[in-house]
A and B are shown apart, each in its own frame.
Chain A
Amino acid sequence: MIELDGLTKHFGRKVAVDRLSFTVRPGMVTGFLGPNGAGKSTTMRMMLDLDNPTSGTVRIDGRHYRQLDEPLRTIGALLDAKAMHGGRSAYNNLLCLAQANRIPERRVSEVLDIVGLSAVAKKKSKGFSLGMGQRLGIASALLGDPEILMFDEPVNGLDPEGIHWIRTLMKALAQEGRTIFVSSHLMSEMALTADHLIVIGQGRLLADTSMADFIHRNSRSYVRLRTPQREQFLDALSGAGLAAAEAQDGVLEVDGSTTEALGELAAEHRIVLHELSAQRASLEEAFMQMTAGSVEYHAHSADAAPAPPPTGPAAPQWAPRNEGA
């Protein structure tokens, strides 16, 4: 269990992390989501006592990181794939860490096996690809067989097979009752792995909610249609107790119905349809709308702002922070 209480970090006058308070619980994968520059990595560095918070505290199982006897046995972290000495072999890089925390040497071979690097164990790590470096970083996190694991953007640089592997690994670790905290800037990635979601933007907490709840609230499904007989169709809709939202270019969006029902409704009233399709607002859009006000690095080319999410009667919404958390 990791508890953050009012965690704040200033870099000069810039506020990187702003009064973050949340709890990461065992037995599940908690996703830590935010656009680039939202303060995810800074927060994770403060969790490991690498950066000093300006104010606030982080507790790992109730204790400050520096009070942990042999931290790697309690919490393992992948922060930066390149955080190893390139002139040292993968095996020796891990051995240094194992010895510092009195982890038996055989565990080094075990974790190299788990991440699939046994064949290159004696190779200097500077020759490693980004994906191999990422696997070595994951091996160092697993070294102490810790109850808490933190991964900062673990899928970066991994090939599809590697991405699948890390997803499966994280889920399996969570099922063993461990606390898994994983950051990403991709909502789609989180939707596949995380059970719980913490969203930040510009260092502030935007959401602290279960993944299921987030999906339920944000994945609005609707039917999109176009017709030259607009007024007639709107009348027919209200006759059926439905309402439509008008989008751009004469497109209508109808919530709470299906393509079948609407097609039949149109046929019944002899209305011509030019388009009839089922739509689902993506979680990515919901995430972008949530963080739109707090994106650090906007693209400034013309019209390059994030595509506006579909407007409609049931605009995407997200859970406010769980106050009981």
Chain B
Amino acid sequence: MASVPAVLQSEWTKIRTVSSTIWTLISAFAVTLAMSAALSALMNATFDDLSEAERLTFDPTFVSFSGLILGQLAMVVFGVLVVGTEYSSGMIRTSLAAVPQRATFLFSKITVAGALALLVGMVTSFLTFFVSQALLGEHRTTLGEENVLRAVFGGGLYMGLIALFSMGVAAMLRSSMLSLGILMPFFFLVSQILSAVPGAKEVARYFPDQAGAKIMQVVPNALDSDEAPYGPWGGLGIMVLWVAASLIGGYLVLKKRDA
């Protein structure tokens, strides 16, 4: 058996020695922060235009993460590229010749990349929260309020899980282009649109992003939205199941298919 710490070290070297790592993670951080800050400032300025129902269910925590819809796409790119470039470059053959145990290889890679995504996610989530709250003016909340810390911590978890889900998908599809071609429109368009269509909404709320995002809500029916049939941790649990399914799928493909 290959030595797991040695393989972890090797995967860390792989991640830190390609430039795509740094620019995808910086994008995830910068886009989330900038867009959330802008939308929070806008919300503060137009608060009086909101309907009464929306004002009553105003969720300053959730609002401070509104840039995540765009920022998560950079996390998707990070996750896809970490796994996908092994295939697009042909490196996978060299990698598997060095570490023929498929599980050791894939899960070491996912552990290293997942930990990095989680770390960046946490930093992004907390900084985004503080900056956005500062811009929300008198509508702001604080970490000390009930459930707010859970929501901000959850925002970091969400970003890490989105990256992990993308790694699993890339391992199943064995191609960066194909994975991005499916995941980007899915998270940016399909999921967002379906969650707004009556009827389709009942299905869409079990999608990984829709379910996982509930962890960032403090008010269950924030901004007069429908209340989900699951709680914040239930939603995150659904997302974790999606992530597990994609990673197991990725492992089975790696194990069965010729490299």
Please determine whether A72 and B98 come into contact, CB atoms closer than 8 angstroms: yes
Contacts of A88 in B (CB 8 A): 14, 17-18
- A48 to B2 CA separation, bound complex (whole angstroms): 15
Q: For the side of the interface on A, what is the size category?
A: 20 to 34
**Is there an interface contact between B91 and A100, defined as CB atoms closer than 8 Å?**
no
Q: Which residues of A contact B14 (CB under 8 A)?
A: 85, 88, 96
Chain B, residue nearest A92 (CB): B17
Main secondary structure of the interface of B (DSSP, over half): helix
Least distance between B251 CB and chain A CB atoms (Å): 15
B-contact bits for A290-316, CB 8 A (1 contact / 0 none):
000000000000000000000000000
Q: How far is B13's CA from A96's CA once the two chains are assembled, in angstroms?
A: 6
**Using a CB-CB cutoff of 8 Å, which residues 33-51 of chain A contact chain B?**
45, 48-51
Q: How far is the CA of A65 from the CA of B3 in the complex (A)?
A: 16
Let me know if B91 and A85 touch, CB within 8 A: yes
Q: Which residue of B lies closest to A9 (CB)?
A: B258
Contact of A100 with B99 in the complex, beta carbons under 8 Å: yes
User: Bound state CA distance, A51 and B11, in angstroms?
Assistant: 23
Q: Closest residue to B13 on the A side, CB-wise? A: A96
In residues 77-101 of chain B, which contact A (Cβ within 8 Å)? 85-86, 89-101
By CB atoms of chain B within 10 A, which of A65, A85, A93 has the most?
Answer: A85
A84 touches B6 (CB 8 A): no
Q: Does B7 contact A (CB under 8 A)?
A: yes
For A72, the closest partner residue in chain B by CB is B98
Given the known interface contacts A50-B258, A52-B258, A87-B19, the answer about A99 and B93 at a Cβ–Cβ threshold of 8 Å is no
> Once the chains bind, are A100 and B258 in contact (CB under 8 Å)?
no
Q: How far is the CA of A121 from the CA of B1 in the complex (A)?
A: 30
Contact A68 B18 (CB under 8 A): no
Name B255's closest neighbour in chain A (CB-CB). A52
With A45-B259, A71-B100, A86-B89 known as contacts, the answer to whether A102 contacts B6 (CB < 8 A) is yes
Residues B200-259 near A (CB distance < 8 A)? 256, 258-259
- Other than the known A52-B256, A80-B93, A99-B9, what 6 A-B pairs have Cβ atoms closer than 8 Å? A45-B93, A68-B100, A69-B1, A71-B100, A92-B13, A100-B95
Residues of A at under 8 Å CB distance from B? 45, 48-52, 65-66, 68-72, 77, 79-80, 82-89, 92-93, 95-97, 99-102, 140
Residues of B at the A interface (CB closer than 8 Å) are 1-3, 6-7, 9-11, 13-14, 17-20, 85-86, 89-101, 256, 258-259
